[in-house]
Structure 1
Amino acid sequence: MSLITNGRFDRRGFLKTTAAGALAASLPLGSARAATPKRGGHLRVGKGHGQTTDTLNPGTFENGYMIAFTFAKDGRLTEVLADGSIGPEVAESWEASEDAKTWRFKIRKGVSYHSGGEVTPEDVVASINFHRGEGSTSAAGPVIAGIQDIKIDGDDTVVFELNGGDADFPFILSDYHLAILPKTDDGIDWKSGTGCGSYKVQSFKPGVSTSFERNENHWRDDVAWFDSIEMLVLTDQNARTTALVSGDVDTVDKLDLKTIGLLSRNPDLVISSIAGTQHFTFAMDSRQAPFNDNNVRLAMKYGVNREELVEKILFGYGSVGNDIPIGQNQLYYNTEMEQKTYDPDKAKFYLKEAGLDSVDVELSASDAAFSGAVDAATLYQNSAKAANINIKVSREPNDGYWSDVWMKKPFTAVYWGGRPVQDQAFSVAFTCGAEWNDGFWCNEHFDELLKTARAELDQEKRKQQYFELQEIVSTEGSIVIPMFANYVYATKKKIGMPEKAASNWDMDGERWAERWWFV
């Protein structure tokens, strides 16, 4: 049982780093990062996410607002560190069998809930089981589908038996849905708002705001520097920017990239641009015509001008995508796959293969999807015309976009934060029947190969398997992934941050509540 021990990935040279760890974080524009944290102060945060349909049920978390919320309130067994490696959180350490099918996690002593009582192995089992089974509707269901059994050994160890080897399993348990919560007779207590994280929830108003207070009884003394936090839902781009400039908030995400030049001249602001796994997509419902024909899907992929989107929507703060959710600096990125480019003639060829001279589709977009999503849809509309693809752009309301439009309408704009390892990215959004498979795409060979790659411990074999998986998604999948976007956010100069910013999610991996402080 020696493959992985002491709560850190060693893997004996296998999987030396994650994608996030391989990506360099850009230095902020306007100021160096401060080095010495100190406690105190009230932080005000404006988030370009959140909606009135958000709930405290961890299985429903689906946007950046709720990711930041749960990272402040809750603990998980593991966490992705700023350098992209995996580290311990509620779990103190772990070890795996040589075939990576059996994993033993030692649960940390002295981790207490905001409502009282310590975290127990029974809580851990109940919290993970909450997302498992036929009755679960959790978005994390596909992520942990490989768990065959969970049992308790002694008074501090939880043992996971998997249905196949999984060298990435500790990364899986860092998923933001998998919060450790108190066990109840029928599951877990998610309704009260208690947690074991570094901040306690004082109020939660879905689609409006959340108030936090530092958890003085948290087991760590090197996190949670603010006394209190107010996190506001500011999905309107102008309102968010105005709140920052006027001083109503101390930091915002999802900046209007058109205004960065102006904002960077403000001596009171610091702009951070971090290359990561975030990507912006257009999801096609493969169950519905015309997207049920892969020839049409290929035509859509060749009908988008990727370089134009990076230039005009991202203003250079990103790179072109190749219809896969894997970034160029991630481990096992397919360097041999041909990069798709804007090619109206090739798009027309695929339309003819589908028996069509032209095609009419409607693209639903909202800036709730990503900043500039409606403009991106309009650019897509313009470029596709030359390929006889007629796109009608439907501008949707910000509020309710994720509950009423995404995965409800056949062609939608979407943002994804990416995942630290490829298996997660594919499992969450591309396996048949996955809760967030927003292209409703099924490919039996893909699903079987993904299982094989997950269990493969030979690095070269695993590389070739992931190369093939990416090729399948790029050429047969029902998602257009034209661009990868840097995480670009702004803070007041009075906010101190670690030298290394995480790149697995926006705003320092959405761990800003724990990692930042007032200078």
Structure 2
Amino acid sequence: MKEKFIERQRALLRQGRLSRREFVSSVLSAGVVLPTALTMADRAMAATPKRGGDARFGMGHGSTTDSLDPATYENGFMLNVGYLWGNSLTEVAPDGTLRGDLVQGWEATPDAKTWRFPLKQGVTFHNGKTMTVEDVIASLNHHRGEDTKSAAKGLLADVVEMSADGDTLVVTLASGNADFPFILSDYHLLIMPSDGGAVDPTAAIGTGPYRIETFEPGVRVIGARNDNYHIDDAAWFDTVEILSIVDPTARQNALMNGSVQLIDRVDPKTANLLGRAPNIDILEKTGYLHYTFPMRVTMAPFDNYDLRMALKLSVKRQELVDKILMGYGAVGNDHPISPAVPFHAEGLNQREFDPEKAAFHYKKSGHSGPIQLSASDAAFAGAVDAAQLVAASAAEAGITVEVVREPSDGYWSNVWNKKAWCACYWGGRPTADWMFSSAYVDDSEWNDTDWRTTEAAVKFNSIVDEARAELDQQKRAELYFEAQRLIHDDGGALVPMFANYIMGVSNELAHGESVAANWEFDGGKASQRWWMA
């Protein structure tokens, strides 16, 4: 009875029907000691969203080459920028389920080829224009066609036709896709106002919770609250400033001295120490994040199967988890599907460090001399150290790896997807098809291993197409297992570890009980879901 009474009093305090003094007095009468009563009051009031305040986030991403065009977004900084000014049609909720963002819901024909998405009504863009189906179609078409360079091109490759049925978007696919509503939550697919069937992708005019006031690529962005935002219980801050602070130590110091209130990519080596600060909490989420060393299979020496296999066998994966992640993660198995994602191939044999087999494949490859591995901590915290560990373990197999330390600025435009072998991270995706479509299918702009034309790659693409349309869950599981096996064996992806998201949070901020794990910062939406404590 006492617990029920206290919880009822908490609810009244959060609703504003009790003052703080009244709450404390009531729980004191129920036998709660004063210090505990005061703490209860503070926590209950912090859990009540309220408007106002200026939020400042520090992110270990960002580049001077960043553009406001959502088709070009390639790092976590721009993901968060996009969610300041824009919305996708659907979104991953804090509890991990999918829900409508700009749509009321969705329904499909039994073959999952035709989808209907009724739009929410009364949604307006920052320029005052009311959102229509035509705006949605033009925004999605920005990522389609032969000339587009959009990273989301592969996600929409199966779209045959889009049309309006009143206020409902109708999408016809070439083949069934049971996961299509998930695809529409991608952070590239932000909806913009159209004019004559075209959008202005660099204007940063959307339906989002904040209007962009300042954008300095690789430096910072500032957004001011959109008072006409279509979601009432969101966008609590007056302003949100996101700073690009690539250096892990500088980012951590910024949190400790109060320059920012939230940081991502806390260095696992110092996470426990940081969490001891009285005004800082460590927020850890297990999701889809994985760290990779992609080998471009069309560039020598990685065009040789045995050379790729030699390197995969020469990595001490548990050592990387222990020394780079400090235990905040798990070993990977050279494919991108997290154990948290449905259809993860649990039965696939875990690849282990095997210097004898590695030496066998290396000799068979016919290669000699050093192999360059480009790395920068812009890829992930400890990436250079991880590359050095890879080089050290490869040496035990007689393979010489030369680590090239690259500049952090411009890493994603000058190194990743260009140099033959480099360090990388992937936030992962909530479905296997989405992850494959983002980085492994042959028509993806982000296929950073360039794995497209080998016999195994061709088979992989065929399997992904088949699995996408398969409604029988058992058959789908078998197909996805084979897809993961093909990447594991033939692909250029060296995936040694899955990492937990580790964030540092000032006690100036508050958030709901559930925090999304699909991306850092509450799925990239802390700017609209969190509030000042």
Q: TM-score range by the shorter chain?
A: over 0.9
Instruction: Say yes or no: does 1:130 pair with 2:142.
Output: yes
Which residue of the partner structure matches residue 90 of structure 2?
78
- Structure 1 residues 298 and 359, CA, compared in 2 at 3 Å: closer, same or farther? farther
Q: Displacement of 1:505 after TM fit?
A: 0.6
* Cα distance in 2 between the residues matched to 1:294 and 1:434: 22
Which of 474, 478, 502 is 1:488 aligned to? 502
Mapped pair 1:518 → 2:532? yes
In the alignment, does 2:408 pair up with 1:394?
A: no
Give the percent of matched residue pairs that are identical in Structure 1 and Structure 2.
Answer: 47
Provide TM-score, normalisation by structure 1: 0.92
Displacement of 1:493 in angstroms is 1.1
Instruction: Kindly indicate whether the alpha-carbon contact (under 8 Å) linking 1:433 and 1:440 is maintained by their aligned counterparts in 2.
Output: no
The alignment partner of 1:410 has SS state of: coil
Distance in 2 of aligned mates of 1:186 and 1:115: 17
Q: In 2, are the aligned partners of 1:345 and 1:387 still within 8 Å (CA)? A: yes
Deviates more, 1:163-172 or 1:34-43: 34-43
CA contact (8 A) 1:359 1:388 kept: no
Query: Which residue is equivalent to 1:237?
Result: 248
> How many angstroms does 1:193 deviate by?
2.0
Identify the residue that residue 321 of structure 2 maps to in structure 1: 310
Question: Which range moved further: 189-198 or 373-382?
Answer: 189-198
2:209 to 198, 201, 215: 198
For residue 441 of structure 1, report the CA deviation from its aligned partner: 0.5
Give the gaps of 5 or more residues in structure 1. 1-30
User: Is it true that 1:54 corresponds to 2:66 in the alignment?
Assistant: yes
Selected match of 2:151 from 118, 135, 139? 139
Q: In the alignment, is residue 207 of structure 1 matched against residue 221 of structure 2?
A: no
| Counterpart-to-counterpart distance in 1, 2:443 and 2:356 | 34
1:426 to partner: Cα distance = 0.6
**Does 2:114 align with 1:88?**
no
How many angstroms apart in 1 are the aligned matches of 2:266 and 2:491? 30
Question: Equivalent residue for 1:408?
Answer: 418
Contact 1:487 1:507 in 2 (8 A): no
Question: 1: distance between equivalents of 2:480 and 2:250?
Answer: 42
Structure 1 residue 186 displacement after superposition: 6.1
Deviation at 1:115, TM superposition (A): 1.4
Q: Which residue of 1 aligns with 2:330?
A: 319
TM-fit CA distance, 1:189: 1.9
- State how far apart, in whole Å, the 2-side matches of 1:251 and 1:512 are: 9
User: Aligned partners of 2:431 and 2:82: how far apart in 1?
Assistant: 21
Q: Following the alignment from structure 2 to structure 1, what is the Cα–Cα distance between the partners of residues 202 and 128?
A: 15
What is the CA-CA distance between 1:494 and the residue it aligns to?
2.1
Deviation, 1:360, is 2.3
Q: Which amino acid aligns with 1:321?
A: G
Tell me which structure has the larger Cα radius of gyration: 2
2:353 is aligned to 342
Q: C-alpha deviations, 1:275-329, integer Å up to 9, x for none?
A: 1100000011101121111111111111111001000100000000001111113
- Structure holding more helix per residue: 2
Instruction: Give the residue type in structure 2 aligned to 1:272.
Output: L
Aligned equivalents of 1:430, 1:359: Cα separation in 2: 29
Superposition RMSD on alpha carbons, in Å? 1.3
1:185: Cα distance to partner? 3.2
Q: CA deviation at 1:192?
A: 2.2
Aligned equivalents of 2:117, 2:197: Cα separation in 1: 24
| Residue of structure 2 in register with 1:427 after alignment | 437
Match of 1:454 among 461, 468, 476: 468
- Matched residue type, 2:271: I
Of residues 294, 298, 303 in structure 1, which corresponds to 2:309?
Answer: 298
Residue of structure 1 aligned with 2:235, choices 210, 224, 232: 224
Q: How does 1:280-299 map to 2 (within 5 A)?
A: 280-299=291-310
CA drift of 1:35 comes to 2.8
State which of 94, 99, 111 in structure 2 corresponds to 1:99: 111
The separation in 1 between residues aligned to 2:400 and 2:481, in whole angstroms, is 33
Q: Which runs of 4+ in 1 moved over 6 A?
A: none
1:18-37 residue pairs with structure 2 within 5 A?
35-37=47-49
The Cα of 1:32 is off from its aligned counterpart by 7.9
